């Protein structure tokens, strides 16, 4: 099985919206707290990605995907801080690995690729958040991210339970 990580340009990202939407629907269906609730439709997930396209086109967002045999199985988005006093900072989001491709190192590879994208753009500080106790939290700890703190009852899980969120940063 051949795998590759690559940045999608705006046209590629637009063409991939149905697959990107599937990624979020799969994540939510498998309990991931990624801003959506159970019952997420393909159309609503596609609308989310559609809303990301202006940022990708303008260069304020970078979408990196992991592909396995030509099929997208993972995503990560690097969003450059838009504030004039934060040209050194970016946020990591939509770190997703399809349930069919988990436990193969894609999460670690996507995170490393996101860090490289940020470094290439001159960023020196990254931040992200994840559900406390999640696989994502374990990944971020294992890859050198520093916990800033935990906010109790920060977000609902897909099944609508309040859950804590752990916030992380990493100097790169």
- The predicted-structure confidence for 50-73, as pLDDT tens digits, reads as follows 999 999 999 999 999 999 999 999
For residues 4-12, give the mean pLDDT.
97
37 in the Ramachandran plot: left (φ > 0), alpha (ψ -120 to 50) or beta? beta
pLDDT band at residue 3 using 50, 70 and 90 as cut-offs = confident
The pLDDT assigned to 49 comes to 98
Pull the structure tokens for residue 117.
């994208």
Residue by residue, DSSP assigns 6-61 as EEE-HHHHHHTHHHHHHHHHHHHHTT--SS--TT--HHHHHHHHHHHHHHHHHTSE
Say what angle helices 17-29 and 42-58 make with each other, to 10 degrees.
130
The pLDDT assigned to 82 comes to 96
Domain boundaries, the chain: 3-171
The pLDDT assigned to 142 comes to 97
- The predicted-structure confidence for 138-160, as pLDDT tens digits, reads as follows 999 999 999 999 999 999 999 99
Residues 26 and 120: their CA atoms lie apart, in Å, by: 31
Residues 27 and 104: their CA atoms lie apart, in Å, by: 16
Give the three-state DSSP class for 74.
strand
What fold, for 3-171? Aminopeptidase (3.40.630)
78, 114 contact by CB (below 8 A) = yes
Q: What percent of the chain has pLDDT over 70?
A: 99
- The predicted-structure confidence for 119-140, as pLDDT tens digits, reads as follows 999 999 999 999 999 999 999 9
Give the three-state DSSP class for 137.
helix
- The predicted-structure confidence for 57-113, as pLDDT tens digits, reads as follows 999 999 999 999 999 999 999 999 999 999 999 999 999 999 999 999 999 999 999
Which pTM does this prediction carry? 0.95
pLDDT band at residue 1 using 50, 70 and 90 as cut-offs = low
The pLDDT assigned to 24 comes to 97
């Amino acid at each position: 099985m051949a795998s590759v990580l690559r940045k999608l340009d705006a046209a590629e990202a637009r063409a991939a919206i149905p697959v990107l939407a599937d990624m979020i629907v799969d994540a939510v269906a498998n309990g991931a707290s990624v801003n959506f609730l159970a019952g997420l439709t393909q159309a609503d997930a596609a609308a989310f990605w559609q809303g990301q396209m202006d940022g990708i086109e303008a260069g304020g967002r970078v979408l990196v995907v992991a592909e396995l045999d030509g099929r997208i199985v993972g995503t990560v988005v690097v969003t450059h801080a838009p504030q004039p006093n934060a040209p050194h900072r970016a946020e990591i989001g939509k770190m997703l690995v399809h349930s069919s491709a988990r436990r193969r190192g894609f999460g670690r590879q996507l995170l490393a690729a996101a860090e490289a994208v940020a470094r290439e753009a001159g960023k020196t500080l990254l931040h992200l958040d994840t559900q406390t106790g999640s696989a994502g939290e374990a990944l971020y700890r294992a890859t050198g991210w520093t916990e800033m703190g935990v906010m109790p009852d920060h977000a609902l899980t897909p099944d609508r339970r309040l859950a804590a969120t752990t916030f992380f940063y990493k100097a790169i």
